[in-house]
Amino acid sequence: MKNAIFIAALVVALIAVFVSPAHSDGIILRGGMNFANANTDLVDDEDREFRTGFNAALLGEIGSGGVRLLAGAGYENRGLDISIGEDDGQVRLDYVTVPVMLSLGTTSTGTGMPRVFVNLGVEPAFLVSEEEELGAFTFDFEEAEKFDFGLRGEAGLEIPLSVSSGLVLGGGYSQSLTDASKSDDTEWKHYGFHLFGGVKIGMF
């Protein structure tokens, strides 16, 4: 756990240095919808449903060709909805995220054509809020890990509006590699689908 926090802190420090206006080729501000769920033995598969929430992120982009680096900070609603008999409930776990992704795509600079991209990377995250409305189901948040580490993949379009700005539209999937439960007797690994839209502003 301490090593994970140290690695995450190092990532944040590197982002602060390299994804500043002096080093970035662009800044992307985006937001959208999350459809979150979890692989867990606390709830039967047929009782788990996606929790609908939102995501937001501020990303710095380094590079202007077909291969670029994206890094920044975001906020995501995670957790899941539960339906057991006549009882409906929800586990709401919200995270500050630190996505770091390699962006692979077409080179559209100066052509006026949209850029098609695929982003692949990692996403350290920190638990900042938790609530439950569960009826007969219980989840012990005292046993929830405060740090999460996962993989993230995205695909979408960057539509130019001018030489230095554009719209960004896309969707993605994330999967936690770490267990959100501290208990050796239970498992809770987040996963979810994401839709997002935003604007990109080029740096001069």
Structural tokens at position 2: 């301490």
Tell me the Cα Rg of the chain. 18
Least confidently predicted of 15-29, 87-101, 134-148, 160-174:
15-29
Question: Residue 78 has what pLDDT?
Answer: 94
Question: Residue 140 has what pLDDT?
Answer: 58
Helix (H, G, I), strand (E, B) or coil at 182: coil
What share of the chain in percent tops pLDDT 90? Answer: 46
Does the pLDDT of residue 156 top 50, yes or no? Answer: yes
Helix (H, G, I), strand (E, B) or coil at 22: coil
Helix (H, G, I), strand (E, B) or coil at 107: coil
Query: Rounded to the nearest 5°, which phi and psi values hold at 30?
Result: -145, 160
Q: What would the pLDDT profile of 73-95 be if each residue is shown by its tens digit?
A: 999 999 999 887 777 788 889 99
Does the pLDDT of residue 56 top 80, yes or no? Answer: yes
Closest by Cα among 72, 32, 71 to 54: 32
Domain of 58, in residue numbers:
2-19+26-202
Q: Domain of 123: which CATH number?
A: 2.40.160.20
CA separation, residue 156 to residues 94, 96, 162 (Å): 25, 23, 19
Tally of domains in the chain: 1
